[in-house]
Amino acid sequence: MTDALWLGWLCANFDVLRRLDPPEAERLLTAVRAGRDEGAHLAVLSRDLDLPAAEDVWRGPDPGPPGMGALRPGRPSADVLVCPGARCQRTVVRRSGVPVPFCAVDGVRLRPARA
Ligand SMILES: [Zn+2]
């Protein structure tokens, strides 16, 4: 099983991966959905592609690229979207005028952290 941080990384970067290498992106998605551990492979991939590592995106002081904002204390939870399957760690700060993104891992739209 791929850990939630790296599932979140795959979820957040899936569109980028699919543009760069469609067959590999689909293979990874199939693998993590089947419960295989691709964390080590994704870590190598993030370095190869010069994308921020999962730990940096979700735990570091930098909220990461636009659309990948980490949870911040004091932010109203209604403004924070999470992946519905609760498997992947991705969190997105909702912005007006920006469509709600899909969770690549679960194939459904993100939902507010708390209804
Ligand atoms: Zn997700």
pLDDT, tens digit (0-9, with 9 covering 90-100), for 69-89: 444 545 555 678 888 877 888
Cα 74 to ligand 1 centroid, rounded to whole Å: 23
Q: Identify which has the larger pLDDT, 56 or 16.
A: 16
CA of 38 to the centre of ligand 1 (A): 15
Identify the pLDDT of residue 2: 87
What distance in Å separates the CA atoms of residue 91 and residue 110, rounded to the nearest whole number?
Answer: 9
Cite the DSSP H helix spans in 21-113.
22-33, 39-48, 54-59
Supply the pTM of this predicted model: 0.77
Q: Which of 25, 44, 26, 28 is nearest to 36 (CA)?
A: 28
Question: Ligand 1 centre and the CA of 63: distance in Å?
Answer: 17
Percent of the chain whose pLDDT exceeds 90: 38
**Is the model's pLDDT at 38 over the cut of 80?**
yes
pLDDT of residue 64: 42
Q: How far apart are CA 73 and CA 58, in angstroms?
A: 14
Q: Give the span between the Cα atoms of 3 and 39, in whole angstroms.
A: 7
Could you tell me which residue, 5 or 58, shows the higher pLDDT? Answer: 5
Residue 108 Cα to ligand 1 midpoint, Å, equals 8
* d(CA 92, ligand 1 centre) in Å: 10
- Are the beta carbons of 112 and 81 closer than 8 angstroms? yes
Query: Quick one: pLDDT at residue 66?
Result: 42
Cβ contact 102:24 at 8 Å: no
